[in-house]
Amino acid sequence: MKQTTLKEWQEEARARFGEDYREWRFQCPACGHKQFIRDFEDIGINPNSAFQECIGRHMGKGAAVKGDSTGCNWAAYGFFGTLGKGRLIIMEDGEEVEVFAFAGKEGEENGRKDVQETE
Nearest-CA neighbor of 72 among 49, 85, 56, 53? 56
Specify the DSSP element, H or E, that contains 27: strand 25-27
Q: Is 89 helix (H, G, I), strand (E, B) or coil?
A: strand
Sheet holding 96-99, edge to edge: 2-5, 87-90, 96-99
pTM of the full predicted structure? Answer: 0.83
DSSP single-letter state for residue 75: B
pLDDT in tens, 65-108: 888 888 999 999 989 999 999 999 999 999 999 999 999 876 54
Q: Higher confidence at residue 118 or residue 28?
A: 28
Q: pLDDT band for position 17 (50/70/90)?
A: very high
Average pLDDT in the chain: 88
Q: Write the single-letter amino acid at 67.
A: G
